[in-house]
Structure 1
């Protein structure tokens, strides 16, 4: 039996919606999850329920500007700059970190835009000792490190948007990803098209921050730091992803993660963007994520590196 709990957290003067999926019994591990663009945490229900059934407690929140954290139209996509995005994530993760060796280990995972955010946080110098070193492992699902060829934006449009963003940072702009590019499952495609919480709206400031984070990762300017604070990394991507680019993720993993002692790249052949919702095959993804987390929960964590 899985227990679901809704709530809220006050971060930076704003109330953000939270939800947890808890095992029926003591948790073996905790997973803090960061969702993607125009997304919300409730869309991962099947995935999180499968993890909770294996003893992994999952905690997530609708990020500033997204999902049920939007209270009025002006809130849509109002994420703030990257510094705000990282501070929000850190503020949500920190209360879940273990207070003693007896507490279950904590893992952090991000999908798509959230994957790029999680990787940026894990590599940020300011958070190494206070947060990164206290997280047992980091997981990335289809992280946004580069656009797929199908989603590559027009360079002139990006340039004009950046100029306008300096004058009107909160100006809202629609960017809708075709639902059929996200999943091979027709039922999931329909649910995305009908989901009123997926508003596909960003601000010029937020979209610029999104592009800047991805570009910094793609250029290798943001990478795990020497010293081993980021101990374990699992990166996953579908080879047929039509939204974020498989090749960008693989290149980053091969060229930029050498400082991580325990690392793995998992390619899902022919899968689309939402590995957690790509049809019946997604049960394999659930199992892979659960196996990776649980393998790092028993005994001395350092002994598994």
Structure 2
């Protein structure tokens, strides 16, 4: 029986919602998870319970500006500049360090771009050294052509972010671009925690991180030991091609690197038809680097 626990993580004036999924038996590895834009940790369905049933403890946080960490309307999308985002992430990761079992970090979409930025920031080398492996699900390395903003929109937004950093923009992502599963599409439309707002400051920072990753400006730390990058070939939100290019540029620098393309999958590999393959791949990859494969577990329905 998986043990699910809710809590809070307090940092620099913010009280962030957390949730933990713990195995009923011994913990073989830990995975710390960072979600995507207008997302929250309650939307990963059977993925986290599945990992816990395989012996992997999962630690998730609704990041600043998102999900249940939003306490009032003005909090929506107020994630802050990149320095703030990375500081929050690093502090949350440190709650599980040092550890007597291997620690892994997973980022999805916007969270994947954040994770790669963190792993490319020398200021956090001491933390990076302690992470056994990094898992990226459809990371925001580049924006899909279907939703790519014009250069004028980007330039205007960046300029305005310095004048009105907390001005909010409504940036909904069509549910049908996120997953091919009609049931999940309906649940996205009905989810009041998915507010789809971003501040000019937060959106500009997200675009800057994306540009830094896709251009090669951000140099991955030499302390990254293992990396597993995954992406659906039919993703209409983040760019499969840019993710593949990033991996090709960095593969030789990483002692243990793997890229897997999920043919025909949409943006949320964890919520798309065929998700069982993604669940199992991530669990096996983590457990193989933790010295064990763990028991075989059936994947249950996601909703």
Please tell me the TM-score bracket, short chain as reference: over 0.9
**Residue 112 of structure 2 is aligned with which of 110, 115, 121?**
115
Q: Which runs of 5+ in 2 are unaligned?
A: 293-303
* TM-score (normalizing by structure 2): 0.95
Residue 254 of structure 1 is matched in structure 2 by: 248
Q: Is the 8 A contact 1:37 1:112 kept in 2?
A: yes
Q: Is the 8 A contact 1:143 1:237 kept in 2?
A: yes
Q: Is the 8 A contact 1:19 1:60 kept in 2?
A: yes
Q: CA deviation at 1:125?
A: 0.2
Within-5 A mapping of 1:271-286: 271-279=265-273, 281-286=274-279
Q: CA deviation at 1:223?
A: 2.7
Residue 297 of structure 2 is matched in structure 1 by: none
2:219 and 2:144 map into 1 onto residues whose CA distance is: 21
* TM-score (normalizing by structure 1): 0.94
Q: CA deviation at 1:258?
A: 2.1
Within-5 A mapping of 1:1-305: 1-99=1-99, 103-129=100-126, 131-226=127-222, 229-279=223-273, 281-298=274-291
The Cα offsets for residues 131-165 of structure 1, whole Å up to 9 and x where unpaired, read as 10001000000000111111111222221111111
2:130 and 2:215 map into 1 onto residues whose CA distance is: 27
Residue 303 of structure 1 is matched in structure 2 by: none
Q: Which runs of 5+ in 1 are unaligned?
A: 300-305
1:285 and 1:199 map into 2 onto residues whose CA distance is: 27
RMSD over aligned Cα atoms: 0.9
Q: CA deviation at 1:67?
A: 0.2
Residue 298 of structure 2 is matched in structure 1 by: none
Q: CA deviation at 1:224?
A: 1.7
Q: Is the 8 A contact 1:97 1:135 kept in 2?
A: no
